[in-house]
Amino acid sequence: MTKKYLLAPGPTPVPANVLLSMAMPMIHHRAPDFLPILESARAGLKWLFQTKNDVLILCSSGTGGMVASVTNFFNTGDKVLVVNGGKFGERWTKICETYGLKVKEITVEWGYAVKPSDIESILKAEPDIKGVFMQAVETSTGVYYDVETIAKIVRNFENTLLIVDAISALVAHDIKSDDWGIDIMVGGSQKGLMLPAGLSFVSISDKAWKANESSRLPRFYFNLKKERDNLLKNQTNFSSPVSLIIGLNEAIKMLQAEGLENVFARHARLANATREAVKAIGLNLFSKESPSNSVTAIMMPEGIDGQTVYKNLREKYGVTGAGGQDKAKGKIYRLAHLGYADTFDVIVGIASLEMALKGLGYNIQLGKAVAKAQELLMK
């Protein structure tokens, strides 16, 4: 038997109480039993997204929420700005282009963060830009972008919406939707929220609802106005993923018991220990600036292939992290500390990485990285 550990930046481990809550017998989503369940989820999501606006719940993976953020607020030919610093930034471009939007990209070298001032100068020069699309955490590079500064810039442009894909950042980073002025923020269930994949979440500002009135892109399944009208009656437009929403309530209950500030502090502490531990054995971070608290992207040493490390960890030790994507493939290994993660998840991740690297010929003294992590995690 090999005991398995899931340390990927999604899907992430699901706590036993959340799993058990989802095993409850099925109830009908139009029956009265479901109303308080969705009502509680609505309240919980507002708390988590730090917004007074309703957060819509869609039955889809995170990408569905991204698609809905394009199709409900824009028109064919609209000019938009996309921050592309990795695989998920690239996804924004692909979705926007699929629906006929004219995309201008700010390309950011992988491993770096977008400069808010660059966004500001582009918006000043081209005030006809209708939307700025970005990630909070670009999961493929492990970089956190400065959402706060960017939001404070974009909110000054009356006809420009800020759309933030916070799918891998929610729960790990303190993102204040309303205070900062984020128009649309997208979340997903299988990352920080400690659930299986299947739910996406979209929060929408008044400014964005205004844009919704004149948006004519084709949409049927992800019709956010209809979702909102239904949500006000504690219903969803189509069949609700009842079990997942019950699980969501259970997960939010855990986060509320901990308290938002403590949840963020836990992620910061785990991320810091992971980063310092790998540096202690001579490894570099792939994120050259602003490394995220969700996932740590680690550069592999010369001559050691990241995919081999990933496979070795999976097959020999039962530890599933993530390799690199696209141009980072083979160069990096990613360890998440996201959602249902605590001290000994970091220890497992770091200890197993040391073992895999040593086994593949990297000259290290076993335990050095673990010792560093232990030292930091005792605090």
Ligand X SMILES: *Cc1c(COP(=O)(O)O)cnc(C)c1O
Q: In angstroms, give the least distance from the CB of 200 to ligand X.
A: 7
Residue type at 177 in one-letter notation: S
By the rule CB under 6 A, 187 interacts with ligand X: no
Q: In angstroms, give the least distance from the CB of 65 to ligand X.
A: 8
Using the structure block, give the residue that is written with the tokens 């993660």: 341
Q: How many helices (H) and strands (E) does the chain have?
A: 14, 14
Binding region for ligand X (CB under 6 A) out of 44-52, 151-159, 165-173, 370-378: 165-173
By the rule CB under 6 A, 212 interacts with ligand X: no
Q: Note whether 349 and 274 are within 8 A (CB).
A: yes
By the rule CB under 6 A, 88 interacts with ligand X: yes
Residue type at 153 in one-letter notation: I
By the rule CB under 6 A, 167 interacts with ligand X: yes
Long-range contacts of 353-356 (CB under 8 A, 24+ apart): 353/278, 353/298, 353/309, 353/313, 353/321, 354/281, 355/317, 356/309, 356/312, 356/313, 356/316, 356/317
Q: Which of 90, 146, 165, 354 lies at the binding interface for ligand X (CB under 6 A)? A: 165
By the rule CB under 6 A, 10 interacts with ligand X: yes
By the rule CB under 6 A, 312 interacts with ligand X: no
Nearer to ligand X, 168 or 237 (CB): 168
By the rule CB under 6 A, 188 interacts with ligand X: yes
Per-position x/- string for 138-157, each x denoting binding to ligand X as judged by CB under 6 A, each - no binding:
-x------------------
Of residues 283, 375, 297, 284, the one with CA closest to residue 336: 297
Nearer to ligand X, 167 or 280 (CB): 167
Nearer to ligand X, 165 or 345 (CB): 165
State whether the Cα torsion 71-74-75-76 is positive or negative: negative
Q: Note whether 160 and 210 are within 8 A (CB).
A: no
Pairing of strands 55-59, 102-107: unpaired
Binding region for ligand X (CB under 6 A) out of 58-66, 94-102, 148-156, 238-246: 58-66
Cβ-proximal residue to ligand X, closest one: 62
Q: In angstroms, give the least distance from the CB of 91 to ligand X.
A: 7
Q: In angstroms, give the least distance from the CB of 138 to ligand X.
A: 6
Q: In angstroms, give the least distance from the CB of 229 to ligand X.
A: 25
Residue type at 271 in one-letter notation: A
The string of DSSP codes covering 241-284 is -HHHHHHHHHHHHHHHHH-HHHHHHHHHHHHHHHHHHHHHTT--
Q: Which of 61, 284, 290, 307 lies at the binding interface for ligand X (CB under 6 A)? A: 61
Q: Which of 21, 40, 50, 63 lies at the binding interface for ligand X (CB under 6 A)? A: 63
Distances (CA, A) of 312 to 175, 198, 370: 36, 29, 19
Give the interface with ligand X as residue ranges (CB under 6 A).
10, 61-63, 88, 135, 139, 165, 167-168, 188, 197
